């Protein structure tokens, strides 16, 4: 008896497929239940120009706090920062505070948190620590908690935004494409493999059913 003919037996195919399916599901539940800390952020490809110093009318002047004349372009930068892991980030986890840093050639004119999840619980706060640096603080940074922010700055469109800081068990901050949803293990690859296994199981059951039926040509001979 060959390996192929032995493999085709229903008694062997079905337990094998169930075993493979069990292994795939065990991997899924293991990784889905794995506890990790992650901080992600997203930005648009380019900030929005809100004041063009070269092409504006000579009659229009822009001043900072009504006294300091702004002679360079002014841009609006928006973005998001959120806890993309499944563990909270406690204050005791902070080794170096989280900061939002622009290039030294740029100067922050204004900033604010546009939106935050459960503000009464999270209580995120942005504060300016330097001409080009903002500091992020919070009360609770639970999974899926985060902020949408905006920064108005004077300088260049080719800014070099960085999210800096050190948090226990977080190797680096993840930059995601804007409007991306949190990653899930229910990816297309996993769904494709699972669908293939289910299809393979259905075919195996149909084949085993056919083999169990009597040969009509033999009956009518």
Give residue 184's pLDDT: 46
> Hunting for tokens 């800390």 — which residue is that?
37
* pLDDT at residue 31 is higher than 90: no
Q: Measured between alpha carbons, how far is 105 from 132 in angstroms, rounded to an integer?
A: 8
DSSP 66: T
Most confidently modeled of 14-18, 109-113, 211-215?
A: 109-113
The torsion angles phi and psi of 154, rounded to 5 degrees, stand at -100, 130
Tokens of 3: 């390996």
* pLDDT at residue 218 is higher than 90: no
Model confidence, pTM: 0.66
| Confidence bin at 65 (pLDDT 50/70/90) | confident
Per residue in 150-199, pLDDT tens?
999 999 887 789 999 999 999 899 998 765 444 444 455 566 666 766 77
* Mean of pLDDT over the chain: 79
> Hunting for tokens 């922010």 — which residue is that?
149
Q: Measured between alpha carbons, how far is 46 from 36 in angstroms, rounded to an integer?
A: 31
Taking the CA atoms of the chain, what radius of gyration do you get in angstroms? 29
Q: Measured between alpha carbons, how far is 202 from 220 in angstroms, rounded to an integer?
A: 30
Q: Measured between alpha carbons, how far is 190 from 44 in angstroms, rounded to an integer?
A: 30
């Amino acid at each position: 008896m060959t390996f192929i003919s032995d493999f085709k037996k229903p008694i062997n195919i079905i337990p094998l497929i169930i075993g493979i399916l069990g292994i795939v599901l065990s991997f899924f539940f293991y990784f889905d239940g794995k506890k990790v800390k992650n901080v992600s952020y997203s930005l648009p490809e380019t900030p929005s120009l809100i004041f063009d110093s070269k092409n504006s009318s000579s009659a229009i002047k822009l001043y900072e706090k009504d006294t300091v004349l702004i002679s360079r372009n002014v841009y609006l930068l928006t973005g998001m920062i959120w806890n993309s892991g499944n563990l909270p980030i406690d204050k005791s986890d902070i080794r170096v505070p989280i900061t939002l840093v622009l290039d030294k050639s740029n100067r922050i004119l204004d900033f604010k948190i546009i939106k935050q999840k459960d503000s009464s619980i999270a209580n995120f706060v942005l504060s300016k620590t330097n001409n080009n640096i903002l500091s992020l603080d919070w009360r609770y940074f639970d999974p899926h908690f985060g902020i949408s922010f905006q920064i108005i700055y004077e300088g260049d469109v080719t800014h070099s935004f960085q999210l800096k800081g050190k948090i226990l068990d977080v190797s680096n901050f993840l930059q995601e494409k804007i409007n991306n949803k949190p990653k899930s293990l229910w990816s297309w690859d996993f769904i494709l493999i699972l669908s293939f296994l289910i299809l393979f199981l259905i075919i195996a059951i149909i084949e085993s059913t056919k083999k169990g039926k009597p040969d009509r040509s033999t009956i009518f001979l």
